A and B are shown apart, each in its own frame.
Chain A
Amino acid sequence: MDRSFLERHRSWEDREAGIGEEFLLPEIGGARTVAVLTRPLGEAHDTGWVVCHSFGGEQMHLSRLEVMVARGLAAAGFPVLRFHGQGYGDSERDAGDVGLASHLADASDAVELMRTQPGVGSVGVLGALFGGTVAALVADRLELPSMALWEPACRGDQYIRRLLRSRVFSEMVEPGEDAQSESGVSMEQLKMDLETKGWADLNGFPLTGRAAREIAVVDLAKDLVRFRGNALVIAVSRSGREGRGISAIAGRLRELGADSHLSTVADPFAGHLGRFHYSKGIDSIFRLATAMVRETVAWARRGTAAVAG
């Protein structure tokens, strides 16, 4: 094993783009994992960002959006940290303990890791879907100065129902070419599994009853109690209109005295966010992701300019 060869390949730099990336092997959530620090090669702002990933299979499906945001922010002068929470990707632990508590603990550790990076004075958080929920709760609890939430899951009970429905629907779409029965699995069966077995098979991801209960009680419009920093909330839809939950969060942030900016991004493939989106080898949400990156970077730049002003 040529360790020096491997060490030399732990990072890269792109002088033209003005950014570089480095793999880190931190301890997050009490165990080892893999993280990526994307940083500007030139002058950097003192605000670093942590991307909080989403839940279950969404973590993988949103990874490209998160990478694009990280590189876009780094090109604008902001260091960004992405990481695999415990139970995901290259982390040490399995998925059995994944839940709201583990997501929050992992994200909090990642914020602390970012604080230790040279030149970082303050840390903001970002996230899509459930990752946005985690980002909001972490920002609130740690009283962080900034957060960007991309179509966050506003109510946990609705989010869990959506996850269960996606399992039911996938059984309907693909029961198999020679399926003897097309009854598949039902919502009732999944809920019973959560109650009796203690977990349900969510299209290959084990959703525990504990995680389902933890997540179901989340209501961001009520749970945000102390955030007064800068917030970007991006609503993603086909129509360009934000849902009731997003409106409620934006309203709550204003009540708290936060500097809140609500933006909407319309795209015909908005429904693919968080789902498999590579039909026929083509990324269907590339344009949507590009728009979200643009909004986020512009907002981050404005926030920094306002502070400097």
Chain B
Amino acid sequence: MVAEYPVFIPFDGDHLSGVLTQPEREPRGLVLLMTGIGATRSHRFRLWTRTARRLAVEQDVASLRLDYQGIGDSTGDVREWTDDSTYGQAREAVTFGLRATGASSFAAAGNCLGGRHALRLAGEMPNCVGAVCIRAMLTSADASGAGRAGTAARLATASRKRLRRLRGRPGARAEVMDELTRTALLGALEHARVLFLYSEENRQFLNRAGPSVEQLLSGLPEEQRERFALRVFPGTSLEGFRTLEMQELTIDSVLGWMASSFSAAPSSSID
């Protein structure tokens, strides 16, 4: 049995809405569950509601699922969302969640922009024990264009990609990871476990990102390298979590990572 508390978190003159899910026993920690731009706190198809309840029941881990400013039940007359503005909201939510639960350590999970925030939280906050970054935006260019393209734009992009494949030119962007991502990842691996989740549809991106990450990790001590994992789901896309199978794979991955992250954390950082 879990208890859930819907809350309004004061932020910059507005209120961010969220739901805090509390296990029956004292929580081992807190997980902040974040979305990309446009999704509400429970996420598409209740992905985060389902994750939150399983975290509480199966692992005694509390969680806070968050609506960004101007989305869901949050207040705010926002028409455009940015990397930095939403990151500040994520940090405020962590502070709130730790205060409410009494936990001293936390982990973070999110997709797209939320995944970028999860990594950054792990890099900047020493009491973060883990991060799950789902199709995370690794460059500021990706983050500034946060949110999926509309249908017409996606159709045009898909057509251009097919044309490039036919011509034998991948036409990939040169930059894979920006300085913020590199700094966050290096900082995170000093104390937290980081999981990058992608699907096979991102193969071209992974072919560029994989070597960049490997190069970054190669200079680290083994203990830190072992805190990182890159997982690729076979088959259909992670974007939009558009199949039931992909939703279950995602939830299971998040739960598995959180279980090991809270277990691996030093006992002084866990209540």
| Residues of A near any B CB (own CB < 8 A) | 1-3, 5-6, 9-12, 14, 21, 23, 25, 34, 36, 57, 60-61, 63-64, 67, 84, 88-90, 94-95, 169-170, 172-179, 201, 203-206, 272, 275-284, 286
B231 within 8 A of A: no
Q: A1-B100, A281-B147 are in contact. List 13 more A-B contacts (CB 8 A).
A: A9-B10, A23-B8, A60-B42, A63-B40, A63-B71, A88-B42, A173-B158, A177-B201, A177-B205, A201-B244, A204-B241, A278-B37, A279-B150
Q: Which one of B7, B45, B150 contacts A10 once the chains associate, using CB atoms below 8 Å?
A: B7
C-alpha spacing A223/B57, complex, angstroms: 44
Quote the shortest CB–CB distance from A280 to chain B (angstroms).
Answer: 4
Cβ-defined contact, A283 with B203, below 8 A: no
Contacts of B199 in A (CB 8 A): 176
Cβ-defined contact, A178 with B7, below 8 A: no
Given A10-B6, A11-B8, A278-B38, CB of A2 within 8 Å of CB of B146 = no
Cβ-defined contact, A281 with B145, below 8 A: yes
C-alpha spacing A204/B204, complex, angstroms: 25
Quote the shortest CB–CB distance from A79 to chain B (angstroms).
Answer: 16
Contacts of A95 in B (CB 8 A): 45-46
**Total contacts A-B at CB 8 Å:** 158
Closest to B45 in A: A204
Given A34-B19, A176-B200, A205-B45, CB of A64 within 8 Å of CB of B71 = yes
Closest to B53 in A: A92
Q: Which one of B49, B81, B150 contacts A284 once the chains associate, using CB atoms below 8 Å?
A: B150
C-alpha spacing A88/B45, complex, angstroms: 7
Given A64-B71, A201-B244, CB of A281 within 8 Å of CB of B81 = yes
B80 within 8 A of A: yes
Contacts of A279 in B (CB 8 A): 147-150, 153
Contacts of B205 in A (CB 8 A): 177
Quote the shortest CB–CB distance from A241 to chain B (angstroms).
Answer: 22
C-alpha spacing A2/B97, complex, angstroms: 10
Q: Which one of A176, A206, A272 contacts B150 once the chains associate, using CB atoms below 8 Å?
A: A272
Q: Which one of B9, B75, B243 contacts A201 once the chains associate, using CB atoms below 8 Å?
A: B243
Quote the shortest CB–CB distance from A18 to chain B (angstroms).
Answer: 14
| Residues of B near any A CB (own CB < 8 A) | 4-10, 15, 17, 19-20, 22, 27, 37-42, 44-46, 49, 70-73, 75, 78-82, 96, 99-102, 144-151, 153-155, 158, 161, 199-205, 236-237, 239-244, 246-247
Cβ-defined contact, A12 with B46, below 8 A: no
Given A6-B20, A60-B44, A178-B203, CB of A278 within 8 Å of CB of B99 = no
Cβ-defined contact, A278 with B148, below 8 A: yes
Quote the shortest CB–CB distance from B37 to chain A (angstroms).
Answer: 5
Cβ-defined contact, B155 with A173, below 8 A: yes
* A-B contact list, 14 entries, CB within 8 Å: A2-B99, A9-B10, A10-B7, A23-B6, A89-B40, A173-B151, A176-B199, A179-B201, A277-B38, A278-B147, A282-B79, A282-B80, A282-B147, A283-B70
C-alpha spacing A70/B73, complex, angstroms: 11
Given A23-B7, A178-B203, CB of A204 within 8 Å of CB of B149 = no
Contacts of B73 in A (CB 8 A): 21, 23, 36, 63, 67
Cβ-defined contact, B153 with A204, below 8 A: no
C-alpha spacing A222/B96, complex, angstroms: 51
C-alpha spacing A31/B211, complex, angstroms: 50
Contacts of B145 in A (CB 8 A): 280-281
Closest to A36 in B: B73
Given A2-B100, A34-B19, CB of A60 within 8 Å of CB of B39 = yes
Contacts of B99 in A (CB 8 A): 2, 5
Closest to B158 in A: A173
Output the residue of A175, A177, A280 with the most chain B CB within 10 A: A177
C-alpha spacing A203/B237, complex, angstroms: 11
C-alpha spacing A280/B112, complex, angstroms: 12
Quote the shortest CB–CB distance from A21 to chain B (angstroms).
Answer: 7
